[in-house]
Amino acid sequence: MRGPWRQWRRVSPETIAHPTDSRLYERARAQLVDLAQEAGIELRQSYARLAPRLAAQVGRYAHAKQFRRMRKALRTLRGYTGRVMRDIRRQLDEIPEGPLRERVLDKLALVSRLLHQRPKDPGKIYSLHEPEVDCISKGKARVRYEFGTKVSIATTLKGGFVVGTRSLPGNPYDGHTLGEALEQVAILTGHPPKRAVVDRGYKGHGVQHTQVLISGTRRGLTPALAKALRRRSSIEPEIGHMKSDGRLARCFLKGTFGDALFAVLCGCGHNIRKILAHLRKLLAAVITLVLAMIRQERARGYSRETALSRCSG
């Protein structure tokens, strides 16, 4: 298990709707109203009729490129949510100590962050039920932005077995995650990797104890190293199978712990599928061999019977 590894990272999208300000404001208002009803708080106004209509109107203004009206509607919708939030804050003393009060306080803090965030602020909220979601730009023509968590995957260079996978919350720079990924490989396999083959996104990794080959390197390569670099791209179909067959395309577990657990489970499932595929090939070879032996024995028996019949005749 000391062979070279391939390191790759991708985005594991979360099960969230596409985040828009109008949707987030409306969802925050609706959740606050539900909590107020559960706690027995009587609100001055819930905006249950005005807010949903205004949220839908924002999308129409944006589609018609009437951005001044859209921004005005967003300010109004934001004001509705803020009024409900402040109304609940004024009546917090009416909620007794307990789990319900903690839920209300957590939701108020989350909605306050949502109402005060700006377009360029770090750590923005893109989902109320998954506040840890990151906005990641991968440069794809089809999907400009993805909302989820980065996942680092390490596989063997020849067999394609996953030997390390972990989630990377916070959208860190890829090069800064290579050391942790190699450490995980060493823990899981029991041997520190001698060589890692990565793409150009891992420049500036700072790893000292492992030879790191970066895609695009031309100088000082032996034929064996050049072959290893050419094998790096073979991880792409492995990732494709993990996305389509292993459900890595979308994470259905909640929170950062759920992201980490989901990444590990996807890696385990990928290895199990590869092992089962090898066992199916072995079983097919064994069955083919047994059938060939049976045919051969039948042919021998038929030839013996033919010879005996001729001798007796």
Q: Residue 272 is which amino acid?
A: I
Q: Which of 22, 35, 129 is nearest to 89 (CA)?
A: 35
Mean pLDDT by 10 residues, the chain (313 residues): 58 79 94 94 94 94 95 96 95 91 94 92 89 83 84 88 89 87 89 86 83 83 85 85 87 88 92 94 95 86 68 62
Return the pLDDT at 21: 92
Return the pLDDT at 140: 74
Return the pLDDT at 123: 84
Return the pLDDT at 78: 95
Question: Could you give the CA distance from residue 207 to residue 7 in angstroms, rounded to a whole number?
Answer: 13
Question: Could you give the CA distance from residue 134 to residue 132 in angstroms, rounded to a whole number?
Answer: 6
Return the pLDDT at 22: 94
Burial 110-144 (b: 16+ CB within 10 A, else e): bbeebbeeeeeeeebbbbbebebbbebeeeeeeee
Which pTM was predicted? 0.79
Return the pLDDT at 1: 42
Domains of the chain by residue range: 5-14+133-270, 21-116
Return the pLDDT at 7: 62
Question: Could you give the CA distance from residue 210 to residue 164 in angstroms, rounded to a whole number?
Answer: 16
